[in-house]
Chain A
Amino acid sequence: MPRYFFHTLDGACIRDEEGEELANVHAARSEALAVFGEILRYQGDEFWETGKFSVIVTDADRRSVVTLTAVAVEGQEEDAGR
């Protein structure tokens, strides 16, 4: 099974050196979403230091597979509601 690496980024990039063996790209996407949700849920106020958080998935050849990003956008709630 291919190995995928899940790096996290919120200002500083924290590299995943161990990686995880998963069946395919689809499984890597599912895992990325699970990790993304879990870390955001437990981040508390830390998120607001940068207002941005990403999980970057790469394969064994260091090619990017998918990136998930949460971004805080302030002061545009009314525009978004229209």
Chain B
Amino acid sequence: MKQALVDKLSRRDVVTAEEVRVLADLLDPPRRVPAGADIVTEHSRPNHSTLLMEGFAARYTTLGDGGRQITEISVPGDFIDLHSLLMKQMDHGVVALTDVVVANAPHAKLRTVTEEQPHLTRLLWLDTIIDAAIHRQWLAAMGRRSGLGHFAHLIAELYVRLQTVGRVEGLAFDLPLTQSVLGDALGLSAVHVNRLLSELRTDDVVTWSHGRVEILDWDRLVALAEFDPTYLRLHSEPV
């Protein structure tokens, strides 16, 4: 069940059999959270971190007028709040965008890992560093890319992250989200998202229907997005 996490970490460095066992021992039994429910509440003080095993989740910040900005979409294999081990109080919330399966990793056990497993600790540390790198890319896209470039960047990023954890078929993947959720992630109105989808479809770059994305022209998608996957750190090099 923690296979997605092991698959992802194994792209970055060798994960030993002992480390795989340590990760398995770290996790409580999986539990389900329905779409729309909070997995981690804004401002809460969790005593465990949460591994996303199936489905999609999102980090978000709510605004005074009831609006919401999604700051990262999480995919299977993501430790959605590993930083709560040290941050203690959550500065943002994490919501289930679809029905999800998650597992808790008690902070007491995570602390023991940091004391007894220096290499695995660095691998997990790297994962939180990559969260920050994803946020930087989102910030640059939000501030400076065209609407089409920004949207294309999100699709390219999600494809590569899902491919890493074996959740794609060829150039297609499931992404059962509404245009309004996408708008919250892109900082754009749902009307604008609808328009961008239509443009990508008309230009034979990407189609998105019934919650399934199909990339028709990867090279043009990458060009539109100016997508450079360096920030996802998917090459194997000792940490």
Interface residues of A (CB under 8 A from B): 6, 8, 12, 14, 16-18, 20, 34-35, 38-39, 42-44, 46, 55
Contact = CB atoms under 8 A, between A and B. Distances in A.
A14 B194 CA distance: 8
B190 interface: yes
Contacts of B202: 12
Given A14-B195, A39-B147, 20 more contacts: A6-B191, A8-B191, A12-B202, A14-B198, A16-B194, A17-B194, A18-B179, A18-B190, A20-B190, A20-B191, A34-B189, A35-B192, A38-B189, A39-B195, A42-B146, A42-B148, A42-B192, A43-B146, A44-B146, A44-B148
Contacts of A18: 179, 190, 194
Interface of B: 146-148, 150, 179, 188-192, 194-195, 198-199, 202
A43 B194 contact: no
A16 B191 contact: yes
11 contacts: A8-B191, A8-B195, A12-B202, A16-B194, A17-B194, A18-B194, A35-B191, A38-B189, A39-B195, A43-B146, A43-B147
Contacts of A55: 191
A79 B198 CA distance: 38
Contact of A38 (B179, B192, B198): B192
Q: Which of A12, A35, A39, A42 has the most CB of B within 10 A?
A: A42
Nearest to A12: B202
A71 B11 CA distance: 51
Nearest to B194: A16
Nearest to A34: B189
A16 B198 CA distance: 10
B190 to A, nearest CB: 7
Contacts of A43: 146-147
